[in-house]
Amino acid sequence: MWHRTATELAAAIRAREVTPREVVASHLERIEEMNPQVNAIVTLEDPERALAAADQAPPGPLQGLPIAVKDLEDTAGLRTTYGSPLFKDHVPATDSLLVERLKQAGAIIVGKTNTPEFGAGSQTFNPLFGATRNPHDLTKTPGGSSGGAAAAVAANMIPFADGSDLGASVRNPAAFCGLYGLRPTPGRIPDHGPGDPFDPLPVLGTIARTPADVALLFSALAGPDPRDPFSIQEPWPTPGDLRTDPSTLRIAWSRDLGGLPVDAEVTAVLEHARAALEALGCTVIDDEPDFTGADECFEVLRGVKFAAAFASIADDVKPTLRENIRFGQQLDATRIGNAIAHRGELFTRMREFLTRYDVLAAPTTQLPPFSVDLEYPTEIAGVQLGSYLEWFRSCSRITVTAHPALSVPAGITAAGLPVGLQLVGRHRGELQLLQLAEALR
């Protein structure tokens, strides 16, 4: 059953055509077959416990559907390492808010997916578990930091997955693995944990093989919670059917999001995606908002976040994360204040831009999947990069606007590697993005 979509499996369980135990057992067999090659699931729940949980799964939208949770989310009684040797034997006593909602919706936790140390970086490897490999080409990275999640879905080990996205961590691996990955509006999926609850940069998102599966998981996770001060109070409109007529949509098309270097292979694939939008009847116009200040805004506020969260362990983490912490510690009030001001300006510019258009379409990533042995690319399209944050600016520039974005599969390169198209919607406009993605299938 592992080849069937989450939506199909949920319908089959409701119709009593299959049992939750049968669905979970099938996926456990697939994990046993595929995970040694891909290294996506790094801690596996005891199979008998998972099957027993399937037998007792409560009624809900995800009843009996297996999921492996990103190893940044606490799971009661199941090892959670955050990708760090400092937590190699850590077993939480309680579930995170996201895991609470998964269980309440009837999902079955079968394991934890790999992530870079503390989720820092858009390539998935760490000293505990090594690197996760891209199922499309085992010599390539699946991206990150939700690389284990995306690789597990792409290899059909689980039907969908949760992810978290600060700079690119849902969208990048979705693009690299030929999947759909949604970074929603901040507060749409509530979160509760250590750190600043008022920070809009990190959000929780969903990854799946179809827009309907993204929507199914998203529907179970979205909704208000008093523990998250950003939590959106209005319910997300759970769609029964994503099909709609996209012919009235006005799409702004950006090839490089304000002059970023983009690999020619990515550009060539995305031109076919543009033609597909036009074939649907969409009006597609070359245009983009002003991203002035976006890179400084993201990198400064990210540095502040990491300095606050990890200063006490800076000497014990990987070098790139240590550099981020030190960078954050050296920032002065003027630079931080300017970054906060830029964040407000970038939100306003995007909001006003999307009064003239329904969606902004742009590259999800600036290059195709690269070698799994490379920590991060240092050059794109002949342009040298200065740090490991620069290669995913096509995503981080969208992050700081606080608007939702969905990566959709756009095609493959000549070498058979997936390329993603990033659709950016109006604030709280996730439904329209999913409807457009469904029309593009």
As annotated, the active-site residues are 70, 145, 169
User: Within a 10 A sphere around the Cβ of 319, how many other Cβ atoms?
Assistant: 9
How far apart CA 148 and CA 326 sit, in angstroms, is 28
Tell me the C-alpha distance between 434 and 262, whole Å: 25
Given a contact cutoff of 8 angstroms between Cβ atoms, the answer to whether 153 and 175 are in contact is: no
**Residue 252: strand, helix, or coil:** strand
**Spatial CA neighbour of 355 closest among 393, 316, 403:** 403
Residue 391: how many CB atoms within 10 A of its CB? 25
Cα–Cα distances in Å, from 148 out to 99, 152, 177, 195?
17, 6, 11, 24
Burial class of residue 256 in the structure, from the number of CB atoms within 10 Å of its CB (0-12 exposed, 13-18 middle, 19+ buried)? middle
What's the distance, Cα to Cα, between the start and end of the chain in Å?
22
Concatenated DSSP letters for 116-178?
SGGG-SSS-EETTTEE--BTTBTTB---SSSHHHHHHHHTTSSSEEEEEESSSTTHHHHHHTT
Residue 253's H or E segment, with its range, is: strand 250-253
Give SS3 for 213: helix
Question: Length of the chain, please?
Answer: 441
44 burial type by CB count under 10 A (0-12 exposed, 13-18 middle, 19+ buried): middle
Q: Could you tell me the two tokens for 414?
A: 């000549």
Distance CA 331, CA 311 (A): 14
| CA distance readout (Å), 206 to 182, 243, 310, 328 | 5, 20, 26, 29
Instruction: Identify the H or E element spanning 102.
Output: helix 97-104
Closest CA to 164 of 134, 144, 188: 144
Strands 250-253 and 359-363: parallel
> 268: number of CA atoms within 13 Å, CB side?
9
